[in-house]
Homo-oligomer: A and B are copies of this chain.
Amino acid sequence: MYVDIGNALDGDLGLAREDLDALDGRVADAHERIARGRADSEHGYAALNLPETCDPDAIRTAAAGFDPDHLLTVGIGGSALGAATLTDALGGDLDCRYLDNVDPVWVASILAGVDLSSTVVNVVSRSGTTAETLSNFLVVREAMEAAGVDWTERTVVTTGASGNLRAMADQHDLPALDVPDGVPGRFSALSTVGLFAAELAGADLDALLAGAAAEADRLAGSLYESPAYAYGATTYALAERGAVTNAVMPYAESLERFAEWFAQLWAESLGKDEHGQTPARALGATDQHSQLQLYRAGPADKLVTLVRPREADDVAIPETDLEGLSYLGGSSLGELLDAEFRATEASLAAAGRENVRVELDRVDEHGLGELLYGMEAATVLYGELAGVSTFTQPAVEWGKNAARGLLGGGDFPEADAVSEKRRLEVE
């Protein structure tokens, strides 16, 4: 991963090189804290050890013997986004679907669109009690039974050491993968949680973990020596100066889901104690025709993170005699995309708007391993600098309790508050 923070300096938010130099001592302290957490396999920090602790052979074993047309991953949040990021980015012939929502119309359409007799189901929930995931799994299981498919022959479980799903796996002798201890869902892309789908889709897990390990090796006591820390420290410093939004804009369709994965990582890890930068998802070049007007001319309260591979396959643009367009003929879509990337970057800088360039060599296993690990380490560093509890998400419990109460799953005072909603309806 390459991180270029040149355009983060001396923009409207006034971050100077000297400010980063001054911050670098705190980066060194945070790095020590992170290293200690990793050495002790503390909750959360353990995620940064996955390049060493993740056992790809266990994943390969769970996937062995399956050769499906479709993979249905039933999970939500961190139990889906890491895997989806990898399989979306790497492509391939396996049709990977993610049942990460409980919209009934959509669930029904997905089930209608796959051949269940050639589908592997991977149900992913550490606790085994995630309402959305278990509901969807029950629906999928019933659909398989209705289609005459033996679900016990086609289901792989990824869960914690105990609980509903573990018991089910034991009872039916299903292939089962362990969700690693100490790894929050949003940091689990490089574990069993994210890698089973990648393996089934034909990805090279060794290269993924090697990419992650290479990025781990670059963690160091200075932001100028580690791309991940350069990103984490710069975003933190900009947020402190008023960058309330971090717009992540990959210039590759294959990385669109990466922006969604990043948005979870960033929001859920850092959004607490009235702090936290809001991640906004964008996509280049498309969103030049959508968000760029705001980024350049709206409030000076944003950082734009431009992400791209340095190399990709290309497509030539045919010669044309269309008026005023001859300059495009003989060029290529890749050259056009590159020109738009650099033009957008410069146009933001010219307007005083901070931006950071993040590049990987290619959108391949090694590059993705670097990118995902790097962004996780950046998040952890930011959390240390901001002094927040990076690895928890206490604010979501209220709504979970309320929903459970509404569904008759127990007596929760939060559910009572729902019916007291203040209404002012205009129709």
Contacts and interface: CB of A to CB of B under 8 A. Distances in A.
Interface string A121-162: 000000011011011101101100000000000000000000
A22 interface: no
Given A138-B317, A426-B5, A164 B323 contact: yes
Interface stretch (A44-52, A54-62, A63-71, A102-110): A102-110
Contacts of A141: 318
A306 to B, nearest CB: 12
Interface stretch (A29-37, A76-84, A189-197, A202-210): A76-84
The range of chain A's interface size is: 35 or more
B227 A104 contact: no
Contacts of A342: 402-403, 406, 418, 421
Nearest to A224: B426
A290 B104 CA distance: 20
B77 A344 contact: no
Given A135-B328, A280-B280, A108 B244 contact: no
A234 to B, nearest CB: 9
A373 interface: no
B252 A105 contact: yes
21 contacts: A2-B427, A4-B424, A5-B426, A6-B425, A77-B286, A77-B289, A91-B109, A105-B312, A105-B363, A129-B325, A131-B328, A134-B325, A138-B318, A260-B290, A267-B294, A271-B295, A278-B278, A297-B395, A340-B403, A342-B403, A349-B421
A253 interface: yes
A226 B402 contact: no
A426 B337 CA distance: 23
A350 interface: yes
Contacts of A129: 324-325
A58 B286 CA distance: 29
A425 B418 CA distance: 50
B135 A293 contact: no
Contacts of A271: 291, 293-295, 297-298
B325 A293 contact: no
Interface in A261-308: 263-264, 267-268, 270-276, 278-281, 283-302
Interface in A320-361: 320, 322-325, 327-329, 331-337, 339-340, 342-347, 349-351
B81 A290 contact: yes
Contacts of A185: 289
B328 A296 contact: no
A313 interface: yes
A410 B326 CA distance: 11
A371 interface: no
A225 interface: yes
A104 B325 contact: no
